[in-house]
């Protein structure tokens, strides 16, 4: 009795996004494409997430050209991308027509598997994207963003999976971006999904390695029936990245679970990146160990350092412990959002505000939007008292509809603006680039003719180890992450200058 486990290779997208600030240039990926394409992966994740942003912001590289090149070099293995539901690859909710155009163009340019998620796990924020993918005939995968809270039970996650399958998803991804998924919940979650949605339901497990425990979780997920798991070749693995592909394969030896990957090819890919990663030293994460504090604090590492730096800027570095205790209060009030970008930053900043100025005395625009429903629905109920304060401060209504229902179609308007820009080439792809990154696109269009820049070959520059900051979207949309805002607040006679900035 053996069962074949499929593997998605992450080295071309999430691995370098997690380990080297999404900086890997296309020219450094091209030499391994043939080996990757012939290595027997279920899919190769190579696009989406922060790569689009990084391409135009740092690499002077057209992300659509990157996608077409991948398709040309890897014609056999399905290409996979990460799509932020109604946010597409940007930082606000878009009109449905923009989402539809994006999916259509991605499919036409070579994308095969669309992994779609929403930071709040609100299925309505996935619906337009899922429908659009189904229309293209490509594979629509719906995500459960895994988190831990009193309301995030196995049953609640299984229900979410059920809704995603009902919606038309062809597989379910358990997306564990903070490495919180422990072995026993992994086992129960996969078992639960298979029991509820049918055992033929494809279950795909995505974990990061941060806490050191998730390779065990993959083992238990496989024992429970998971079909596909995500890994990255070992020289581009671990720390804030993922579990090593080779370790996953070796782990299964003799267990009755097999894989079909070609270890000779994977070995070559691994040796290649072992050398390449050294060229990106200035972007490489310092940290390759296990970060287990999150199990104690329930607060992701990136969020913690962000809060600490906010506190230090306010001369309140001694308040870290108070803020740590305030985070659960804020999270409960806002209905227990998963703590991922952008919610981790929104919740963290509000916890800082509450400690520095008193609970709910000051409120960021983003936190108010979160409370009022402009990011979507949370699994837990929101505290009415705090919701009222948010409504009063912002003069905005509570909404319960799908947030994008309030956004009119906007592609034609964006097209007009985009194509007026110097260097825009008239394509829908350029319109999408402008739609998602209106601040960055103009410069990219102007400089595109200079061709891609490889940051690993530039002269040494100051270290830039954090991920790309969010773009500044147009200011009129709900649910947006806006530019830094500075508040001047006086509490008990002490004046505080508080700045809220998009998460790193």
Residue numbers of the site for a second copy (CB under 8 A)?
Answer: 182-185, 188, 211-213, 215-216, 219-220, 234-235, 237-239, 243-244, 246-247, 250-251, 253-255, 263, 267, 270, 288-293, 295-296
Angle ∠(197,199,200) on CA atoms, nearest 5: 95
Minimum distance from residue 250 beta carbon to a second copy (Å): 5
Minimum distance from residue 35 beta carbon to a second copy (Å): 15
Minimum distance from residue 173 beta carbon to a second copy (Å): 21
Q: Tokens 């969020």 belong to which residue?
A: 303
d(C-alpha 95, C-alpha 90), whole Å: 12
Which string of b and e fits 336-349 if b means at least 16 CB within 10 Å? bbbbbbbbbbbbbb
**Encoding tokens for residue 127?**
């619906």
Nearer to a second copy, 235 or 482 (CB): 235
Nearer to a second copy, 113 or 215 (CB): 215
Three-state DSSP at 148 gives: coil
Nearer to a second copy, 206 or 448 (CB): 206
Instruction: Check if the beta carbon of residue 393 is closer than 8 Å to that of residue 368.
Output: yes
Nearer to a second copy, 278 or 409 (CB): 278
d(C-alpha 248, C-alpha 179), whole Å: 16
Nearer to a second copy, 88 or 221 (CB): 221
CA distances from 94 to 100, 114, 118, 272, 405 (A): 10, 17, 13, 39, 10
Minimum distance from residue 174 beta carbon to a second copy (Å): 16
**Encoding tokens for residue 181?**
């998924």
Nearer to a second copy, 295 or 408 (CB): 295
Nearer to a second copy, 5 or 377 (CB): 5
Q: Tokens 């304060």 belong to which residue?
A: 389
Minimum distance from residue 248 beta carbon to a second copy (Å): 8
d(C-alpha 314, C-alpha 497), whole Å: 7
DSSP β-bridge partners for residue 257? 3
d(C-alpha 129, C-alpha 467), whole Å: 25
**Encoding tokens for residue 247?**
């370790």
Minimum distance from residue 211 beta carbon to a second copy (Å): 6
d(C-alpha 93, C-alpha 91), whole Å: 7
Minimum distance from residue 215 beta carbon to a second copy (Å): 6
Nearer to a second copy, 221 or 351 (CB): 221
With 0-12 / 13-18 / 19 or more C-beta atoms within 10 angstroms meaning exposed / middle / buried, residue 34 is middle
Minimum distance from residue 263 beta carbon to a second copy (Å): 7
């Amino acid at each position: 009795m053996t069962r074949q486990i499929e593997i998605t290779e992450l080295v071309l997208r999430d691995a370098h996004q997690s380990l080297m600030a999404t900086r890997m240039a296309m020219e450094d990926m091209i030499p391994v494409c043939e080996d990757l394409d012939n290595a027997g992966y279920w899919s190769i994740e190579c696009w989406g997430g922060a790569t689009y942003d990084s391409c135009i912001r740092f690499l002077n590289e057209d992300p659509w050209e990157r996608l077409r090149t991948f398709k040309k070099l890897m014609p056999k293995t399905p290409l996979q991308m990460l799509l932020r539901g109604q946010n597409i690859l940007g930082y606000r909710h878009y009109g449905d027509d923009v989402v539809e155009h994006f999916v259509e163009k991605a499919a036409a340019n070579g994308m095969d598997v669309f992994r779609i998620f929403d930071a709040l796990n609100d299925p309505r924020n996935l619906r337009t994207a899922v429908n659009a993918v189904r229309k293209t005939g490509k594979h629509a995968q719906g995500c459960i963003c895994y988190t831990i809270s009193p309301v995030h039970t196995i049953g609640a996650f299984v229900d979410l999976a059920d809704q995603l399958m009902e919606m038309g998803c062809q597989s379910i991804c358990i997306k564990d971006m903070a490495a919180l998924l422990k072995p026993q919940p992994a086992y129960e979650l996969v078992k639960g999904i298979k029991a509820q949605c049918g055992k033929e339901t494809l279950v795909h497990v995505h974990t990061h390695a941060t806490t050191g425990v998730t390779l065990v979780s993959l083992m238990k997920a496989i024992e429970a029936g998971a079909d596909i798991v995500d890994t990255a070749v070992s020289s581009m693995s671990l720390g804030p990245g993922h579990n090593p592909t080779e370790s996953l394969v070796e782990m299964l030896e003799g267990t009755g679970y097999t894989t079909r990957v070609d270890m000779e090819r994977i070995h070559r890919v691994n040796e290649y990146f072992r050398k390449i990663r050294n060229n990106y030293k200035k972007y490489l994460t310092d940290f390759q160990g296990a970060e287990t504090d999150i199990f104690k604090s329930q607060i992701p590492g990136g969020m913690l350092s962000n809060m600490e730096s906010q506190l230090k800027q306010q001369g309140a570095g001694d308040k870290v412990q108070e803020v740590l205790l305030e985070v659960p209060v804020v999270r409960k009030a806002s209905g227990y959002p998963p703590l991922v970008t952008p919610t981790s930053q929104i919740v963290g900043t509000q916890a800082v505000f509450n400690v520095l100025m008193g609970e709910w005395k000051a409120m960021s625009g983003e936190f108010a939007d979160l409370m009022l429903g402009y990011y979507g629905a949370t699994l837990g109920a929101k505290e009415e008292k705090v919701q009222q304060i948010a409504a009063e401060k912002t003069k905005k209504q509570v909404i319960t509809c799908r947030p994008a229902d309030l956004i009119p179609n906007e592609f034609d308007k964006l097209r007009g603006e985009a194509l007026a820009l110097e260097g825009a080439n008239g394509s829908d792809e350029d319109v999408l680039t402008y739609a998602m990154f209106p601040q960055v696109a103009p410069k990219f269009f102007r400089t595109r003719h200079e061709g891609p820049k490889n940051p690993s070959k530039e002269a040494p520059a100051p270290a830039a180890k954090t991920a790309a900051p969010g773009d500044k979207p147009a200011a009129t949309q709900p649910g947006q992450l806006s530019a830094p805002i500075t508040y001047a607040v006086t509490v008990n006679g002490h004046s505080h200058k508080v700045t809220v900035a998009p998460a790193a």
